Copies of this chain bind each other. A is one copy, B any other.
Amino acid sequence: MPYLNLKMTKEDGGATTEQKAALIAGFTKVFVEIMGRGQKTMVVTIDEVHTDNYGIGGEQVTEIRKK
């Protein structure tokens, strides 16, 4: 029942299905090992965000990637 949301930029076509499966499995494993619950109920959602819609230090990631 713990809930985890990840936001990451969508780069070079985005994460593969296998990478997403590994993120979901990995985050859940970390939580279960540390907190001792959530093995069957932890929910994970992943938002891939266009680099135009993602900024760091006031700058679009699209621009940062051009440098």
Contact = CB atoms under 8 A, between A and B. Distances in A.
Most buried by B among A27, A38, A42, A55: A55
A47 B57 CA distance: 18
Interface residues of A, number: 52
A32 B34 CA distance: 19
Contacts of A61: 1
15 contacts: A2-B9, A3-B7, A3-B43, A4-B6, A19-B35, A22-B34, A28-B57, A39-B57, A40-B56, A42-B58, A43-B43, A43-B55, A45-B47, A47-B47, A47-B53
Interface of A: 1-9, 15, 17, 19-35, 38-49, 52-63
